[in-house]
Each structure stands twice: as C-alpha cells, then as structure tokens.
Amino acid sequence: MRYVLALFFPWIVFFTMGQVGRGIICLILQCTIIGWLPATIWAFSAIGNYYADKRTDRIVSAISANNQQPMADPRRV
C-alpha cells in the first residue's frame, strides 16, 4: 500500500513512517514537475529502508530472546 501511495503522493509516505522533516522536504521537492520523479524515487528507497530496518529489528529481538537461556558447551556434550 505504501508503494502505491509513494507513486502518487511521495511526501505522505514519509509522514506515515514518522519522518516529518523528510516529508516536508519531499513536499517542497514535489511541488515542481521536475522534482516529482526524484521525490518518488526517494520515497521508494525510503520504504525499502524502512522495511529492512523493521526486519533487522525482528531478527535482533529473536536472537536476543533465544540467547537468554544458557547454552551447553558443545565440547563437553
């Protein structure tokens, strides 16, 4: 859904991700016809980075949850 939104209104995507400053800059960039294409590309890139950060956070929290249990030494088992 964010990708479709980024195609038509790139600046709204930044607001939905909590990046208000970037959203305002993107809105100013999108106000020009020439700036619309770079704003759209920037929004697509930001969405990809946002999902990558979320994925990394999930992986780190899963690893942290698994490391709380003491592991047996594999050399002694």
Q: What would the pLDDT profile of 39-48 be if each residue is shown by its tens digit?
A: 999 999 999 9
- Predicted model pTM: 0.73
Query: Residues near 52 by Cβ (< 8 Å), separated by ≥ 6?
Result: none
CA–CA gap between residue 8 and residue 48 (Å, rounded): 17
Give the pLDDT confidence of 16-66 residue by residue, as tens digits: 999 999 999 999 988 887 888 899 999 999 999 999 999 999 988 888 877
* Boundaries of every domain in the chain: 2-51
Direct distance between the N- and C-terminal alpha carbons of the chain, in angstroms, rounded to an integer: 50
Q: Alpha-carbon distance 61 to 75, whole Å? A: 28
Amino acid at 13: V
